[in-house]
Amino acid sequence: MKKVRLSLMAAAAVLVFAASSCNKSECHECHYDGPNGEVELGEKCDDELESLEANGYEENGTVYTVHCHEH
């Protein structure tokens, strides 16, 4: 019984690891250069990351170019 439980736990761990490695998101810290210096936007992932880099970030009617590290 103990071997069966240990085998099931090992199989579950492998399954969780395999499933989590398939859904890797591409996330990076992003910022823009505002009039008073760099403004951090935090970590952005996947579609939100692509959209920010393509369209910029709007604040008070001004659109700023967004920079995301390693992307």
DSSP E strands in 1-71: the ranges are 27-34, 37-45, 57-59, 62-64, 66-68
Query: What is the C-alpha to C-alpha distance for residues 39 and 62, in angstroms, rounded to an integer?
Result: 14
Q: How far apart are CA 30 and CA 17, in angstroms?
A: 28
Number of H helices, E strands in the chain: 2, 5
- pLDDT per position in the chain (71 positions), as tens? 666 565 555 555 555 554 555 567 889 999 999 999 999 999 999 999 999 999 999 999 999 999 998 64
Q: Is the pTM of this model over 0.85?
A: no
Q: Checking DSSP bridges between strand 27-34 and strand 37-45, what pairing results, if any?
A: antiparallel
